[in-house]
């Protein structure tokens, strides 16, 4: 039976980052990564539309932690030990140039996730880390002095093990048997399914908006780009709400109403006043054909029609009710959400190992010595924008540091 100093279960972002850093801290360690699939780093490959959104340009630990609906409090300390600037420096030292985009997301200059994957594979080879593919871990348990790991291909042992298995129910079940509490998983990043004449055939249109969940029990709102899709609404503004509302929206069975303000920063009264000015300024022009407030033309047209204003109506013809309706459609448009859609590339789960059971200085289990956990196996998740990867890098780095010490 092969024995290792460290076995890492899970060949994804957190697993590879842990292995590479542990080997750099202590080159004498014998380290193995076990991956159940035929390929490693598959989520890294498809993330960020195949470009790999490595992290996010937020350099203050407190501010960075605010992007984690679950894990905000717990990650604050770890971010003081390893965060965005450290991540950027780490990759750049490995020859991966990074760039910050206007919205704060950070990508490799190559715009290709393969450059991150190649970096990890070259490093594991250089550091003589063994990578076992198609090795599904079936069980792991503590023996007298080490951990026994049973895979689909045989038995292995290790002094220390790390679980970086993401949202894998099988691994959560094994952890349950070891006494860990698992917070029931629910989807976290998802888009809203909406069938509505106002957004029909507008797929691909994106605009800044404020969105609020219109429910007695859920008090959530967000601001950001809203993308109209074939099945409803997506974009950072919506995904942010889905992350913060993951548990509440699941309780509502994904049936709820949202209020959309297409003109962020303005309320219905502000806009009503502007519309009255336009009524006199543009008197002879047709309302439908005259998009205002920098709104996309087709969206404007649909909102005008939804306000009970027929095509061909001029600004001068608008009555009091129509002006009020249009102002409401622009600032407090109600949409019924009926279900959700998740994407493979953005799929993130809220849920996992209870954070009270983890020592966040080292990412070691408080229940079992020499058992470490990082990434989405924990009850930590973030909004979209590179934050979920930053959690993997931070946890992986601090665990590697602890695991490489005697």
Task: List pLDDT tens digits, range 358-400.
Answer: 999 999 999 999 999 999 999 999 999 999 999 999 999 999 9
- Among 182, 140, 202, which residue's Cα sits nearest to residue 6? 140
44 within 8 A of 96, measured Cβ to Cβ: no
Q: What SS3 state is found at 60?
A: coil
* Alpha helices (runs of H) in 291-368, residue ranges in sequence order: 297-306, 320-331
Tens of pLDDT, residue by residue over 27-80, are: 999 999 999 999 999 999 999 999 999 999 999 999 999 999 999 999 999 999
pLDDT tens per residue across span 154-190: 999 999 999 999 999 999 999 999 999 999 999 999 9
Which of 73-77, 93-97, 250-254, 342-346 has the weakest average pLDDT?
A: 342-346
Per-residue pLDDT tens for 100-128? 999 999 999 999 999 999 999 999 999 99
> Which residue, 323, 330, 333, is CA-closest to 277?
323
Helices (H), 196-289: 236-244, 246-251, 268-281
Average pLDDT over residues 12-41: 98
User: pLDDT tens, 200-247?
Assistant: 999 999 999 999 999 999 999 999 999 999 999 999 999 999 999 999
Using pLDDT thresholds of 50, 70 and 90, give the confidence band for residue 348: confident
Mean pLDDT value of segment 310-319: 97
Number of neighbours of residue 321 by Cβ within 10 angstroms: 10
Whether the predicted pLDDT of 297 surpasses 70? yes
Q: Find out whether 209 and 241 touch, Cβ atoms under 8 Å.
A: no
Q: What confidence score (pLDDT) does residue 105 get?
A: 97
Structure letter (DSSP) for residue 245: T
Contact 260, 266 (CB under 8 A): no
**Residue 347's pLDDT is what?**
74
Place of tokens 């691994």: 171
Query: Any bridge partners for residue 132, and if so which?
Result: 34
Q: State the average pLDDT over residues 238-263.
A: 97
2-187+348-403 folds as FAD/NAD(P)-binding domain (3.50.50)
Distance CA 288, CA 286 (A): 6
**42 beta partners:** none
Segment 195-200 long-range contacts (CB within 8 Å, at least 24 positions apart):
195/232, 195/338, 196/335, 196/336, 197/302, 197/306, 198/299, 198/302, 198/303, 198/306, 198/329, 198/333, 198/335, 199/228, 199/232, 199/233, 199/299, 199/302, 199/335, 200/302
For residue 406, what pLDDT is reported? 79
Residue 343 has pLDDT above 90, yes or no: no
**Domain limits, CATH 3.50.50.60, in the chain:** 2-187+348-403
* Strand blocks (E) in 26-116: 31-34, 55-56, 98-100, 105-108
Q: What pLDDT score does 213 carry?
A: 98
The mean pLDDT value of the chain amounts to 97
With a cut of 90, say whether residue 344 has pLDDT above it. no
What pLDDT, on a 0 to 100 scale, did the predictor assign at position 342? 85
């Amino acid at each position: 039976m092969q024995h290792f100093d460290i076995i890492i279960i899970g060949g994804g972002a957190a697993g590879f980052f842990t292995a590479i850093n542990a080997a750099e801290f202590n080159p004498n360690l014998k380290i193995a990564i076990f991956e159940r699939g035929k390929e490693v780093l598959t989520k890294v490959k498809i993330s960020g539309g195949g470009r790999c959104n490595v992290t996010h340009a937020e350099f203050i630990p407190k501010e960075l932690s605010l992007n984690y609906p679950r894990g905000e409090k717990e990650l604050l300390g770890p971010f003081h030990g390893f965060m965005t600037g450290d991540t950027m420096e780490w990759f750049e030292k490995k020859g991966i140039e990074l760039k910050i985009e206007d919205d704060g997301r950070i990508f490799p200059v190559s715009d290709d996730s393969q450059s991150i994957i190649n970096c990890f594979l070259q490093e594991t080879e250089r550091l003589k880390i063994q990578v076992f593919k198609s090795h599904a871990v079936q069980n792991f348990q503590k023996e007298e002095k080490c951990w026994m790991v049973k895979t689909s291909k045989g038995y292995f042992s290790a002094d220390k093990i790390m679980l970086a298995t993401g949202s894998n129910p099988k691994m959560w079940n094994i952890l349950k048997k070891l006494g860990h509490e698992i917070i029931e998983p629910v989807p976290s990043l998802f888009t809203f399914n909406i069938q509505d004449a106002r957004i029909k055939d507008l797929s691909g249109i994106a605009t800044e908006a404020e969105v609020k969940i219109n429910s007695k029990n859920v008090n959530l709102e967000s601001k950001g780009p809203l993308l109209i899709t074939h099945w409803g609404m997506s974009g950072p503004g919506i995904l942010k709400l889905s992350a913060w509302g993951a548990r509440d929206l699941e309780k509502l069975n994904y049936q709820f109403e949202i209020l959309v303000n297409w003109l962020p920063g303005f309320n219905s009264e502000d806009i009503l006043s502007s519309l009255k000015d336009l009524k006199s300024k543009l008197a002879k022009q047709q309302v439908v054909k005259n998009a205002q407030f920098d709104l996309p033309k087709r969206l404007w047209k649909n909102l005008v029609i939804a306000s009970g204003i027929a095509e061909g109506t001029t600004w001068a013809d608008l009555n009091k009710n129509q002006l009020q309706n249009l102002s409401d459609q622009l600032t407090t448009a109600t949409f019924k959400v009926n279900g959700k859609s998740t994407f493979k590339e953005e799929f993130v789960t809220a849920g996992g190992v209870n954070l009270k059971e983890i020592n966040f200085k080292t990412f070691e289990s408080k229940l079992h010595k020499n058992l470490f956990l990082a990434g989405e196996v924990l009850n930590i998740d973030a909004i979209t924008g590179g934050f979920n990867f930053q959690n993997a890098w931070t946890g992986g780095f601090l665990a590697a540091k602890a695991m490489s010490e005697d």
